[in-house]
Amino acid sequence: MSGTLHPQIASREATSHILKAFHLRASKRLGQNFLIDGGIVRGIVEAAEIAAGDRVLEIGPGIGTLTQGLAEAGADVTAVELDKKLPEVLAHTLAGYDNVRIVQGDILKVDIPEIMGEGKFKVVANLPYYITTPILMALLERRLPITRIVTMVQKEVAERMTAQPGGKDYGALSVAVQYYTEPEIVLEVPPKSFLPAPEVDSVVISCRVREVPAVRVRDERLFFRVVKAAFGQRRKTLSNAMKGAGFAKEEILSAFEGAGIDAARRGETLSLEEFASLADALHAIENA
Ligand code: SAM
């Protein structure tokens, strides 16, 4: 399997040629912005620290640009693509790579444990931007045996994923991503690295999945209910937002007291540890 046998897909010329040859147009609806920059493909593969034999789930292989980089690095790739027109293209662009398997389907609907089988794996993707958050949340919440997620996302989404308490970017996505992983922005990617160029700046983010979550909580579902309530109505104080989300007034006030948190604070100022203390205090009251 050598690079000389497989011309790089990651260039403007090769991508235009492949799209033309198969009478295809990039679909805006499916978030199709194909990478045309070989340096970025290499950067993603390096950030994922791919070693020969690593099992990788790729989401949205498109015409196979990133898939080729992963396959050349020796990964054992399972790539899930929604667009029914693309498996035929991929059979052509990735012909000869026996370490790639294409699954046609919607990543939000396919049974990931079934297609990935036993054992740990990495997720590597240039995600379709219209469903970035649902995909990330589904991957994290299902507690799949993922060791790392390395993905292209809109810069603004990466800023939310890595945001610290106190700012406008800090929200439920920041808490969930940081609860399960250690996110780090590794590459800035300009619009001209894609065909067609998206209207937004992009970055590659690497999220190393933690062996145990960042904070210990007694009831994870309750923890995330509190987090969602806190950010559901950002203008309200946390206690009012929680009332709005259906928590009982007396329970909320004793939980704040138990956790030593001022009930007049806004959700966006609470650290993960403070959300955990509040959820644990509520749990103790509900189970008293
Ligand atoms: N990986 C390719 C690249 O880097 O050039 C294509 C990336 S493009 C930004 C996103 C890809 O995700 C497209 O091929 C699109 O058809 C696919 N896609 C969109 N929605 C999807 C879904 N729900 N499940 C799986 N793939 C999806």
Ligand 1 centre distance from Cα of residue 219 (Å) = 35
Closest to 186 measured CA to CA, from 88, 6, 40: 40
Query: Is the model's pLDDT at 1 over the cut of 80?
Result: no
CATH, domain 220-286, list 3.40.50.720, 1.10.8.100, 1.10.3720.10, 1.10.3210.50? 1.10.8.100
- The structure's pTM equals 0.94
pLDDT, tens digit, 9 for 90 and up, residues 129-161: 999 999 999 999 998 999 999 999 999 999 999
Residue nearest to atom 23 of ligand 1 (CA): 106
Q: What is the mean pLDDT of the chain?
A: 95
CA 171 – CA 229 distance, rounded (Å): 11
* pLDDT mean over 204-215: 97
Ligand 1 centre distance from Cα of residue 35 (Å) = 11
Ligand 1 pocket, Cβ-based, cut-off 6 angstroms: 30-35, 59-62, 65-66, 80-83, 106-108, 126, 128, 131
Please report which confidence band the pLDDT of residue 234 belongs to, taking 50, 70 and 90 as the band edges: confident
Closest to 258 measured CA to CA, from 286, 221, 232, 234: 286
Please report which confidence band the pLDDT of residue 47 belongs to, taking 50, 70 and 90 as the band edges: very high
The region of weakest confidence among 37-41, 74-78, 120-124, 260-264 is 260-264
Instruction: Give the CATH number of domain 12-209.
Output: 3.40.50.150
Ligand 1 centre distance from Cα of residue 197 (Å) = 15
pLDDT, tens digit, 9 for 90 and up, residues 78-128: 999 999 999 999 999 999 999 999 999 999 999 999 999 999 999 999 999
Cis, bond preceding 196 (omega within 30 deg of 0): yes
Residue 180, pLDDT score: 98
Residue boundaries of the structural domains of the chain: 12-209, 220-286
